[in-house]
A and B are shown apart, each in its own frame.
Chain A
Amino acid sequence: MTAPLLEIRDLRVAIPTATGVIEALRGVSLSVAPGEVLGIVGESGGGKSMIARTLTHLLPAQAEAQGQVTLAGTDVMTLRGEALRRFRGRSVGLCFQNPRSALNPVRKIGDQLIDRLREHAPGGDLRARAVTALAAVGLRSPETMMGQFPHQLSGGMAQRVMIALSLACNPRLLVADEPTTGLDVTLTGEILTLIARQARDGARGVMIISHDIAALSKVSDRLVVMEKGLIVEEGSTRRIVTAPRHRYTRRLIEAVPDVTTRRRAQPREDGRSVVMAIRDIDVTYPARFGRRPAPALTGVSLDIRMGDTIAVVGESGSGKSTLSRAIMGLLAPSRGEIRFRGKTMSSMRFSARRGLRRYMQMVFQDPFDALNPRMSVEDIVSDPLRLVERDAARRSAAIDRVLVEVGLDPTFRTRRPHELSGGQAQRVGIARALSIAPELVVLDEPASALDVTVQAQLLDLIRRLTERRDRAYLIVSHDLATVRALCDRVVVIDAGRIVEEGPTEHVFTNPASPKTRALLDAAPRLYTDAT
């Protein structure tokens, strides 16, 4: 065993706030060897980002840190001034979580890269070396990119630039803090592989911090599992994934959606009424000044029957959210029609459409953003109910009933959104949708904004609700695996068109479209043998 590159002993970080001291790290010890890829996994609030911040002296100003941190023989905690500046970059190269905001918006990519090279690895033709560095992280036209500004890059490109910037400092340890936030599954895999590859020379260490144990299991040699500022389990990736010891690790692993779990409940036989019929609709976003109108959906048709649960799956930008908004009447199709309960909804005016609202409700992706921050839970839940139920006592009873139905205690009625956790907020969102007993419920990525363990519980709630078959559900998701256990039919959408549609099991076992196969391949799964 080689001597460790990074050694952290009993690191404690406390952050005093107005409401008390938050103990972000409560005695963390870990090490990274040269040539090793260490994955740190845990949910938000687990303190894992504080490790990266301690390494680069980027803790909040009032934070107090104690413990011993040694990197390549340097005592990190006591570094100050010029010594700290030389250490930063050269010893630790940090990749920020959100690469778009971590790049200087008014400086060319090339100049930002040359800034780093000049400081930490001077010599030679800096410009030529910068171009090489961009090419080395898999960017296709590095020459053009040298003269571009950050806002001209896509999310995946920006993350590659971020990695190139960190590597330009030629660091002994590369640290990536949640490097794949906001990227889709395919890109996540590519970016993580790129980061992990940087340890291959045998001298550099790599530390990847992520909430995504499935993605980490693919690329890391060892895993450290963190919960509430403590390391609860540590070991080789293979051992942790195949034989987790701590219950928290087991929960993380169980929460990874399993693409092989089937739906237990069988769909009802045919002959049920069609709740909504979508006929050959196009949705086009209106032309803005100087821009062409952008088609978002083209020729989409779909029948939603009573008791059905349909999943609409596609990558980000495929048009799936547009479809759910068109169904809800938030967007008007430019062609075709949407019939709901026998009426042509797509051509209705706002006030007429309002009358149909009681029969259709929606649950939104970001649970906090979907709740009016100035309203109490009971006001939020009864907002649709006010339309139909004038009697306050009966409305109140309905609120209690529906809160219990989604697994919340009726005492939650007086809380405000900021007093809820993500999972609770999403349950309130579901309660609001169900309060009025609608015939159709659209769920737009209902769990994707939540922590993994909370996600599993919420999907469980949705599964139970759908199995009652007392209404129709439409679930929008970017992730095929999560919907297998939830729905009867799957609609795969790509570039605004339906590319595949069929009974769930049929689509999973016999995918006809290459897009469906790509989505299936990209589904997160645990890698039990690290390669």
Chain B
Amino acid sequence: MPAAAPNRPAQRRSRLEPITAIGAAIVLAVLAAGIAAPWLTPWEPTQIDPFFFLEGPNAQHWFGTDGNGMDVFARVLYAARIDIGIALASVALAVVLGTAVGLPLGYAGGWVDDIGMRVLDILQAFPVFILALAIAAILGTSLPNLILTIGLINAPPYARLIRAEVVALRHRTFIEAAECAGNSHSSLMLRHLLPNALTPILVIAPLNCGWAILTLAGLSFVGLGIPVPEAEWGAMISAGAADVVGGRWWTATFPGLALFLTVLGFNLIGEGLQQRQAQR
């Protein structure tokens, strides 16, 4: 028997890491539950049950009710829409912004790159969550503003990542070969550099979605995100924090579990993708 041909790893491409699959399943399940919420619970997220204030889990209110008499289960489900929605939108914004800045910087090199990098240095000298707090406090807490805030503070790392990839690729022979082949600047950037620089971005993106949800929930937790009575996990935990000391555990625990599970799902996807990339 001849030795197996080592240069045909074609079949491996389509296979997913098991943890990626588990993570994707979690995220999809949470998202599906959020979308299907009207069929899963009779309660509206902001509907008040006048007979139950701060009641523990029971047959009518599976996760109990909060201090306003709203159904925690319904609120946890509906919150998935807003949390995952904002996370995906803000990460998409960050990727687009980061690419638009990082690609030309890395390609141009020289003083353009130097100045660009110094500006990024300065932006990254701010601890991210603190910048998020400050921008959210100043811009105000409308939905588009939150997407903008989380997207903006997330863009510099992407710009840096893309730029680093491009700088590393810039002196690879195949880019020189493409230059010798007569490609224009835009063709070199978009046709040759971008597809090769994108992989690490796409690997980081799921991890970033998890992080974006945590940021949104953190902002809401301290009252600088989605305002009450809108259903959002962080705001719900915040409202429930005071109940805990009185032993009423359900108002903070259930939204926290949902939040944790969703972030875990995104992180598992990211972990699997990273492992896969590391094996290459």
In the complex, is A directly touching B at CB under 8 Å? yes
* Any A CB within 8 A of the CB of B14: no
A526 to chain B, nearest CB (A): 29
A148 and B166 alpha carbons, distance in the complex (Å): 34
* Any A CB within 8 A of the CB of B58: no
By a CB distance below 8 angstroms, the chain A residues around B178 are 372, 383
11 contacts between A and B (CB under 8 A): A18-B12, A229-B3, A325-B176, A350-B185, A362-B177, A365-B173, A366-B173, A369-B173, A370-B177, A387-B181, A419-B7
Encode contact with A along B173-187: 1 for CB under 8 Å, 0 otherwise.
110111111111100
How many A-B contacts at CB < 8 Å in the complex? 86
* Any A CB within 8 A of the CB of B196: yes
* Any A CB within 8 A of the CB of B8: yes
A227 to chain B, nearest CB (A): 11
By a CB distance below 8 angstroms, the chain A residues around B179 are 330
Determine if A374 and B196 form an interchain contact, defined as CB atoms under 8 angstroms apart. yes
* Any B CB within 8 A of the CB of A328: yes
Chain A CB count within 10 A is highest, among B2, B12, B182, B195, for: B182
Encode contact with A along B247-272: 1 for CB under 8 Å, 0 otherwise.
00000000000000000000000000
Determine if B180 and A358 form an interchain contact, defined as CB atoms under 8 angstroms apart. no
- From known contacts A357-B181, A373-B196, A384-B181, infer whether A22 and B10 are also in contact, taking CB-CB under 8 Å: no
Interface size on A, residues (CB 8 A): 40
By a CB distance below 8 angstroms, the chain A residues around B172 are 369
Determine if A374 and B195 form an interchain contact, defined as CB atoms under 8 angstroms apart. yes
Encode contact with B along A329-359: 1 for CB under 8 Å, 0 otherwise.
0100000000000000000001100100110
Determine if A370 and B7 form an interchain contact, defined as CB atoms under 8 angstroms apart. no
By a CB distance below 8 angstroms, the chain A residues around B180 are 328, 330, 357, 360-362, 384
CB under 8 Å from chain B, chain A span 80-103 = none
Determine if B6 and A383 form an interchain contact, defined as CB atoms under 8 angstroms apart. no
CB under 8 Å from chain A, chain B span 1-33 = 1-12
A183 and B1 alpha carbons, distance in the complex (Å): 36
By a CB distance below 8 angstroms, the chain B residues around A364 are 173, 176-177
A21 and B2 alpha carbons, distance in the complex (Å): 10
Determine if B183 and A383 form an interchain contact, defined as CB atoms under 8 angstroms apart. yes
Determine if B4 and A21 form an interchain contact, defined as CB atoms under 8 angstroms apart. yes
A384 CB contact (under 8 Å) in B6, B12, B176, B182: B182
Contacts A23-B3, A354-B184, A370-B177 given; 15 further ones with Cβ under 8 A? A18-B12, A19-B9, A19-B12, A22-B4, A45-B6, A228-B2, A330-B180, A350-B185, A357-B182, A361-B181, A362-B176, A362-B177, A362-B180, A384-B180, A387-B182
B166 to chain A, nearest CB (A): 14
* Any B CB within 8 A of the CB of A17: yes
By a CB distance below 8 angstroms, the chain B residues around A228 are 2-3
Determine if B181 and A383 form an interchain contact, defined as CB atoms under 8 angstroms apart. yes
A18 and B4 alpha carbons, distance in the complex (Å): 11
Determine if A432 and B181 form an interchain contact, defined as CB atoms under 8 angstroms apart. yes
Chain A minimum-CB-distance residue to B175: A372
Determine if A419 and B174 form an interchain contact, defined as CB atoms under 8 angstroms apart. no
A325 and B178 alpha carbons, distance in the complex (Å): 13
* Any B CB within 8 A of the CB of A77: no
B231 to chain A, nearest CB (A): 43
* Any B CB within 8 A of the CB of A42: no
Determine if A420 and B177 form an interchain contact, defined as CB atoms under 8 angstroms apart. no
Chain A CB count within 10 A is highest, among B8, B176, B195, for: B176
Determine if B3 and A22 form an interchain contact, defined as CB atoms under 8 angstroms apart. yes
Chain A minimum-CB-distance residue to B2: A228
* Any B CB within 8 A of the CB of A213: no
- From known contacts A365-B173, A372-B174, infer whether A419 and B182 are also in contact, taking CB-CB under 8 Å: no
* Any B CB within 8 A of the CB of A421: yes
B174 to chain A, nearest CB (A): 5
A361 and B184 alpha carbons, distance in the complex (Å): 16
* Any B CB within 8 A of the CB of A245: no
* Any B CB within 8 A of the CB of A39: no
- From known contacts A372-B192, A372-B196, A418-B9, infer whether A358 and B1 are also in contact, taking CB-CB under 8 Å: no
Chain A minimum-CB-distance residue to B181: A384
* Any B CB within 8 A of the CB of A150: no
Determine if A330 and B176 form an interchain contact, defined as CB atoms under 8 angstroms apart. yes
Encode contact with B along A365-392: 1 for CB under 8 Å, 0 otherwise.
1100111111000000001100100000
Chain A minimum-CB-distance residue to B174: A372
A366 and B171 alpha carbons, distance in the complex (Å): 13
By a CB distance below 8 angstroms, the chain B residues around A361 are 180-181
By a CB distance below 8 angstroms, the chain A residues around B184 are 351, 354
Chain A CB count within 10 A is highest, among B178, B192, B195, B196, for: B178
Determine if A429 and B6 form an interchain contact, defined as CB atoms under 8 angstroms apart. no
* Any B CB within 8 A of the CB of A271: no
Chain B minimum-CB-distance residue to A369: B173
Determine if B2 and A419 form an interchain contact, defined as CB atoms under 8 angstroms apart. no
A350 and B179 alpha carbons, distance in the complex (Å): 10
B182 CB contact (under 8 Å) in A20, A354, A429: A354
A325 to chain B, nearest CB (A): 8
Chain A CB count within 10 A is highest, among B172, B177, B179, for: B177
By a CB distance below 8 angstroms, the chain A residues around B183 are 354, 383
Encode contact with B along A383-425: 1 for CB under 8 Å, 0 otherwise.
1100100000000000000000000000000000011110000
Determine if A369 and B3 form an interchain contact, defined as CB atoms under 8 angstroms apart. no
By a CB distance below 8 angstroms, the chain A residues around B11 are 19
A190 and B64 alpha carbons, distance in the complex (Å): 82
A418 and B174 alpha carbons, distance in the complex (Å): 14
Chain A minimum-CB-distance residue to B1: A23
By a CB distance below 8 angstroms, the chain A residues around B4 are 17, 19-22
A330 and B172 alpha carbons, distance in the complex (Å): 13
A374 and B191 alpha carbons, distance in the complex (Å): 10
CB under 8 Å from chain A, chain B span 161-176 = 172-174, 176
A22 and B179 alpha carbons, distance in the complex (Å): 39
Chain B CB count within 10 A is highest, among A370, A429, A432, for: A370
Q: Closest 5 interchain pairs by CB?
A: A357-B182, A384-B181, A20-B4, A370-B173, A369-B173
By a CB distance below 8 angstroms, the chain A residues around B177 are 362, 364, 370-372, 429, 432
By a CB distance below 8 angstroms, the chain B residues around A373 are 174, 196
